[in-house]
Structure 1
């Protein structure tokens, strides 16, 4: 019990609006959370046990950098794919941007998180969203996924039978019927390289990639940021660091993501300035 209290207190220290976070835990403990919806920018989500949902209950502007990027790059009628969709905030934000004529595909590995994702999509009634419950990697089969309470940091466990067993598929197989992808977002807690390795055909039909990059996460799977840059460059992509959703810094394979950040990759750098109105920083 004392350890549980210490855990909650440590979480509260890192959160904005700690009183609202305490209120969220009270609602969850009493079951009253089922009557609570968290209103975001054009959509809403359930107040669930999800770490992200609790965070958003305390601060609805959390994660706006990612949503801002999607609002800037997605257009009505576009196709958006979200690998590592979590509870669906970016899936829902993307669906608003692409509209009824567009298509959104959300892919989430963890079965419990996927259940919350489905519930949030149903809550909003969007018809343009397709959901897939699968891990993504460089070979088809099974693997184990962590089952931490901080569900937004759950990840693939190598050489372990702990956590939960999930199906893993190649992105090429999951998206074989998708002809073109305007924006591909990937956030898989360090497993990005394996996702890209199983996505040769997908990379050929993708205009823009937006992915989380962090050296500490990559080290878990024995590679570094430069390996990702080399892999994408071999498919014709130019890689950039996002700065305030206004500027992009070109990167080479010597670059390392020493903090958790977002990178962008495209085969058409001119579109970043002409179509999306980013300013590319000249070296």
Structure 2
């Protein structure tokens, strides 16, 4: 109980509109949350136990940088893959962007989070989405996944029997029938390098990668940002940082993500001003 109270207090300190966050916990505690949906830009989600859902209940503009990036880069009829789909906000954003003739694949490892993801997709009735309940890595098998109350930081646990056991598959195997990927988004709390190592075929048919990068998360698995950059460079990707929400700055293997951020990888060799501007849509 004390640990749960500390988790709630830490969330309140970090979130806008703390009174709305408190109200969200009241609704969740009483079960009344089942009558509540949170309307976003073109879609809606359930108010669930997820930290992301609770945060969006208090601040509907949270996470708009990522959604804006997808709305800018995804075109009608495109294919979008989301590894670490969480409760589906970016899956739903991608679904709207690519249209009925496009394709979206959402991949989420944690079984409880996956259930919320499925529920949110069903709530919206979008038909161009496929969901897969699997962790992604460089070897097929089983691993343990953390099961913390702060679900948005759950991750693969190496050499541990704690948490929940999950299936692990290579992205190359999961997406073997996909011929082309326009945008591949990856957010797996530091396990990104393992995902890339099991995705050589997928990366060869991917146009753009949008991935979370954070040195502290990478350190959990004994590598750094430069290792990711080197790995992607060998597959002809060039790595960029988004500056001021609209322009891309090239990075080399000496770069370190000292703060949690999203980086972009493309096979575009130059970042000319007119070619690399991204005007985010609010």
Range of TM-score over shorter length: over 0.9
1:124-155 C-alpha deviation (Å, 9 max, x unpaired) = 00000000000000000000000011111100
After TM superposition, the structure 1 stretch with the greater mean CA deviation from structure 2, 184-193 or 260-269, is 260-269
Give the 3-state SS of the residue equivalent to 2:193 in structure 1.
helix
**TM-score if structure 1 supplies the norm length?**
0.95
Match of 1:210 in 2: 210
Query: 1:197 & 1:138 partners in 2: Cα distance?
Result: 5
Query: Could you tell me how far 1:6 is from its partner in structure 2?
Result: 4.0
Match of 1:224 in 2: 224
Superposed CA RMSD: 1.5
Match of 2:24 in 1: 24
Query: 1:10 & 1:277 partners in 2: Cα distance?
Result: 36
After TM superposition, the structure 1 stretch with the greater mean CA deviation from structure 2, 7-16 or 145-154, is 7-16
Give the 3-state SS of the residue equivalent to 2:48 in structure 1.
coil
Query: 1:183 & 1:137 partners in 2: Cα distance?
Result: 19
After TM superposition, the structure 1 stretch with the greater mean CA deviation from structure 2, 263-272 or 42-51, is 263-272
Would you say the 8 A contact 1:68–1:245 is kept in 2?
Answer: no
Match of 2:33 in 1: 33
Would you say the 8 A contact 1:272–1:278 is kept in 2?
Answer: no
Query: 1:230 & 1:2 partners in 2: Cα distance?
Result: 44
| Shift in CA distance, 112/273, structure 1 to aligned 2, threshold 3 Å | farther
Would you say the 8 A contact 2:247–2:276 is kept in 1?
Answer: no
Query: Could you tell me how far 1:278 is from its partner in structure 2?
Result: 3.7
1:257 correspondence with 2:257: yes
Query: 1:70 & 1:271 partners in 2: Cα distance?
Result: 19
Query: 1:173 & 1:48 partners in 2: Cα distance?
Result: 31
Query: 1:205 & 1:5 partners in 2: Cα distance?
Result: 46
Query: Could you tell me how far 1:244 is from its partner in structure 2?
Result: 2.9
Query: 1:223 & 1:99 partners in 2: Cα distance?
Result: 38
Match of 1:99 in 2: 99
Query: Could you tell me how far 1:273 is from its partner in structure 2?
Result: 6.0
Query: Could you tell me how far 1:14 is from its partner in structure 2?
Result: 1.2
**TM-score if structure 2 supplies the norm length?**
0.96
Query: 2:269 & 2:16 partners in 1: Cα distance?
Result: 37
**Aligned residues between the structures:** 279
1:51-97 C-alpha deviation (Å, 9 max, x unpaired) = 10000000000000100000010000000000000000000000000
Query: Could you tell me how far 1:29 is from its partner in structure 2?
Result: 0.5
Query: 1:6 & 1:142 partners in 2: Cα distance?
Result: 31
Query: 1:274 & 1:136 partners in 2: Cα distance?
Result: 35
